[in-house]
Each structure stands twice: as structure tokens, then as C-alpha cells.
């Protein structure tokens, strides 16, 4: 065999081995976290180990559509996870525990199922006392009907309420606001000389005093990112997935025998005063934290901080009151 034949064979074999071997080697050394729509598997892997005090470096990519990444109950800006691109992120944990990471950009009806956990091991310097949540300490039944028997004719006005409130014996504290539904407050005002609509205006004022503009802005943002796809951008329960949920509910009714009250439902209409004015902030907190248990309403407890939930609650009431 002559030299040129040998050299060309060598070049061909080396070239092929390199073109296969080098990318394969680099590929095997790049552990990626893959994001897919929940129907196609969600996060992979969905359990990540980490240690307190050691920065956790993650490389995340999306295999289909736009997703986002954030860790629940942590002070962090969510990052976008784009199809075919790699997002680098570094996380630091100072407390051990099990954290939930979740998708932050809507990616279909089952978007909220796209969750995973980060198991952080290590010891914590200052163990935080577990604070009891309001809806738990009030012992509220989250699934009991809570409709307000009486509703106002129009949207109650906080501005009018403020003028009326000055000489009324009314508790403006956060504790009182959080543990009472608008209807309960309305009812407690029945001893006064005010007309019904005036009483509703006072209720609106009470709600307004417990709502800052910052919390409304935060609440609005959280609502748009997490709730509006089902509950509708205007709170009317007519989000883009509302019909899909109803359809999914109908089909699940046939499979979930004996659990008729726990099947998928249409999303709640926050502009419905009967429903909203009969619910206390604590009740709403509980519903958001726990989720709808099979109704299609996700469980947000592992994701939102307590403050974020109060912001969200404050925003949801703004569908009822004229601030």
C-alpha cells in the first residue's frame, strides 16, 4: 500500500473518530437539567441535591417551549429557560430543607405540575420557629361553602367609606381584616345607622387601609404570571385554559368514581361578589396555600412566601372594591 493511501485512510479514520468522539465526550460532561412540558415529563432530573453553604451551579435548557425557573419561597428573580439555549444559574442555600423549584412561564394546561425539589442537606445556624398560618389557627374549613347572603348593588367605594368611617367604632387592624370576610364586617355594622350601600363602602375602606399600593402592584404581577391563565386577566374565571379545565373535568368525572366533589372545576370567578365577599383573607390564604385538591387549582404553599400570598389576596379583592 502506498503512502498517500495510508495517509488518506489515517485522515479519514481520525476525522471520523474526532467528529464523533469529541462532541460525545463534551456532551457527556455537560449535565443539563431539561425542561419539558409536564405532559412530556416536566423537569429531568426533578430531584436535585445541594448542601448548605455550597453554591449550587445549574445548567438548564428547554427541550420544547419557553419555560422559566425559580425556587419557591426564596428571594430570587426567576430566569427564563429558552428552547435550545442553556441558562446558567447559581443558587445559595443557608438553611437545609426541601425546596420546590417550578416553571415560571405558562407552558400549557399542566404548567403548574412542572415542579421539582432541591434537597438541601447540612445544618442550620439558627433554626427558625415554625410560624402557624392564620387559616390553620382560625381552624377554617377551606372546602365549606362561604357565599355572602347579601351583596351590594355596585362596586363599594373606599373613598365614600373613608368619609363615613370617622365616627364609627371599627377595628382597622390587620388581624381583624385578615380574619373577617367583607360580609362579616358588613354584618357587624348592621347596628349603625348607615344604609346598606354605605356599610359596604365602609367595608371597602377597611380593605383599602389594609392594602398598600406596593402590595397591589406585587399582587397584580403575581396574579398575571400565575393565576390569569385560568382565572382570567380580569378575574372573571374566563382565562385561556378555563375551557380546557372544564373539558378535563368532564372526562375526569368518568374516571374518578365516588369523588364527584373533587373533580376539575371551572376556575373561580373573582368578580362574583357572592363568593368573594363571603371569603375572609385568611380563607383565601388557605385556598391559595393548599390548592384545590384535584380541582385543577395548584398548591402554592411551597412556592409563594406568606407576604406574597397576602399581596395576592389584597389584589384579588380589588376585583370587588373601588379603591
Partner 1 sequence: MAKIELTRIPFIKNALKSRYPQLAVFIVMLIGYIFAILAGLIGTPVGSHNFSIVFVWIAWWAILILVAVPFFGRGWCAVCPIPLPGEWLQRGAVLSPPDKRPKWLNLRVPKMFRNIWLQNISFLLLALFSSVLLTTPNITGVVLATMLFAAIRLSTVFERRAFCRYLCPVGGFIGLYSQTAPIELRIKDKQVCVTCEGKPCYNGSQAGYGCPWDVFPGGLTKNTYCGLCMECIRTCPHDNIAVNLRPFSADLAKPSTRMDEAFKAFIMLGSAMIYAGILLGPWGILKDAAYNVGTDAWFTYVAAFLAIIFVALPGLFTVGILHTKNTLPLKQRFASLSTALIPLGLMFWVAFSLSFVLTNASYILTALSDPLGLGWNLFGTANATWQPMLTSMLAPAQTLALVGGLIWSARTAQKAAGEVKVSPIPVIVYCFIATCLMLWLLL
Partner 2 sequence: MRFRISLLLFVMAGLVVAFAPLPVPAIAPQERTFQIDAHQFAYSPSELKVNEGDTVIIQLVSSDVVHGIYVDGYDISVEADPGQSAILTFVADKPGSFRFRCNVTCGAMHPFMIGKLTVGPNNWLYRSIGLAALAVLGVTVSRKQKV
Q: Which of residues 155-214 bind partner 2 (CB under 8 A)?
A: none
Interaction of residue 292 with partner 2, rule CB under 8 A: no
207's grid cell:
380593605
Short-list 298, 278, 284, CA closest to 134: 284
The only residue of 240, 253, 259, 293 in contact with partner 2, by rule CB under 8 A: 240
CB closer to partner 2 out of 171 and 243: 243
Short-list 235, 280, 266, 256, CA closest to 141: 280
Interaction of residue 15 with partner 2, rule CB under 8 A: no
Residue 64 beta carbon to partner 1: minimum distance, rounded to whole angstroms: 7
How far apart, in whole angstroms, are the C-alpha atoms of residue 27 and residue 78? Answer: 26
Interaction of residue 64 with partner 1, rule CB under 8 A: yes
How far apart, in whole angstroms, are the C-alpha atoms of residue 248 and residue 159? Answer: 43
Q: Please spell the DSSP secondary structure of 252-267, one letter per residue.
A: HHHHSTT-GGGS--PP
The listed partner (partner 2, partner 1, none) that binds 37, CB under 5 to 8 Å by sort, is partner 2
- Sequence-distant (6+) residues with CB within 8 A of 142 are 135, 283, 286, 287, 290
The only residue of 41, 54, 55, 86 in contact with partner 1, by rule CB under 8 A: 86
Interaction of residue 136 with partner 1, rule CB under 8 A: no
The only residue of 81, 202, 206, 230 in contact with partner 2, by rule CB under 8 A: 230
Residue 241 beta carbon to partner 2: minimum distance, rounded to whole angstroms: 7
- Sequence-distant (6+) residues with CB within 8 A of 205 are 158, 159, 160, 161, 162, 164, 165
Residue 224 beta carbon to partner 2: minimum distance, rounded to whole angstroms: 5
Give me the residues paired with residue 89 across strands: 58
- Cα angle 244, 250, 253; round to 5: 135
Q: Please spell the DSSP secondary structure of 122-156, one letter per residue.
A: S--SSPPPPPPPHHHHTT--TTS----S---SS--
Interaction of residue 224 with partner 2, rule CB under 8 A: yes
Phi, psi of 57 (to 5 degrees): -95, 130
CB closer to partner 2 out of 79 and 150: 79
Interaction of residue 5 with partner 1, rule CB under 8 A: yes
How far apart, in whole angstroms, are the C-alpha atoms of residue 56 and residue 66? Answer: 23
CB closer to partner 1 out of 5 and 128: 5
The listed partner (partner 1, partner 2, none) that binds 109, CB under 5 to 8 Å by sort, is partner 2
- Cα angle 62, 66, 70; round to 5: 80
Residue 249 beta carbon to partner 1: minimum distance, rounded to whole angstroms: 25
The listed partner (partner 1, partner 2, none) that binds 265, CB under 5 to 8 Å by sort, is none
The only residue of 25, 41, 59, 94 in contact with partner 1, by rule CB under 8 A: 59
Residue 7 beta carbon to partner 1: minimum distance, rounded to whole angstroms: 9
The listed partner (partner 2, partner 1, none) that binds 20, CB under 5 to 8 Å by sort, is partner 1
Where do contacts with partner 1 occur on this chain (CB under 8 A)? 1-2, 4-5, 8-9, 11-12, 15-16, 18-20, 23-24, 26-27, 30, 32, 59, 61-64, 83-86, 88
Amino acid at each position: 500500500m502506498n503512502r498517500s493511501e495510508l495517509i488518506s485512510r489515517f485522515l479519514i479514520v481520525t476525522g471520523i473518530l474526532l467528529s464523533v468522539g469529541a462532541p460525545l465526550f463534551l456532551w457527556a460532561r455537560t449535565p443539563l437539567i431539561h425542561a419539558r412540558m409536564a405532559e412530556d415529563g416536566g423537569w429531568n432530573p426533578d430531584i436535585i441535591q445541594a448542601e448548605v453553604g455550597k453554591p449550587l451551579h445549574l445548567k438548564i435548557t428547554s427541550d420544547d417551549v419557553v419555560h422559566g425557573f425559580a425556587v419557591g419561597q426564596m428571594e430570587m428573580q426567576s430566569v427564563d429557560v429558552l428552547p435550545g439555549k442553556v441558562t446558567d444559574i447559581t443558587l445559595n442555600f443557608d438553611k437545609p430543607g426541601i425546596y420546590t423549584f417550578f416553571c415560571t412561564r405558562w407552558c400549557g394546561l399542566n404548567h403548574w405540575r412542572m415542579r421539582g425539589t432541591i434537597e438541601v442537606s447540612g445544618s442550620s445556624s439558627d433554626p427558625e420557629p415554625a410560624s402557624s398560618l392564620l387559616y390553620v389557627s382560625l381552624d377554617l374549613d377551606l372546602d365549606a361553602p362561604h357565599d355572602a347572603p347579601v351583596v351590594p348593588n355596585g362596586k363599594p367605594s373606599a373613598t365614600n367609606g373613608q368619609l363615613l368611617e370617622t365616627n364609627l367604632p371599627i377595628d382597622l387592624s390587620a388581624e381583624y381584616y385578615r380574619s373577617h370576610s367583607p360580609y362579616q364586617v358588613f354584618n357587624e355594622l348592621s347596628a349603625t345607622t348607615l344604609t346598606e350601600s354605605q356599610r359596604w363602602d365602609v367595608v371597602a375602606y377597611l380593605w383599602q387601609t389594609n392594602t398598600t399600593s406596593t402590595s397591589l402592584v406585587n399582587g397584580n404581577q403575581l396574579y398575571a404570571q400565575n393565576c390569569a391563565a385560568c382565572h382570567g386577566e380580569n378575574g372573571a374565571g374566563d382565562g385561556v385554559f378555563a375551557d380546557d379545565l372544564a373539558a378535563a373535568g368532564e372526562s375526569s368525572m368518568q374516571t374518578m368514581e365516588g369523588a364527584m366533589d373533587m373533580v376539575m372545576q371551572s376556575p373561580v370567578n373573582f368578580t362574583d361578589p357572592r363568593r368573594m365577599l363571603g371569603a375572609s383573607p385568611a380563607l383565601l390564604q388557605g385556598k391559595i396555600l393548599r390548592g384545590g385538591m384535584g380541582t385543577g387549582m395548584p398548591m402554592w404553599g411551597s412556592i409563594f412566601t406568606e407576604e406574597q400570598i397576602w399581596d395576592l389576596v389584597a389584589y384579588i379583592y380589588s376585583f370587588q372594591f373601588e379603591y
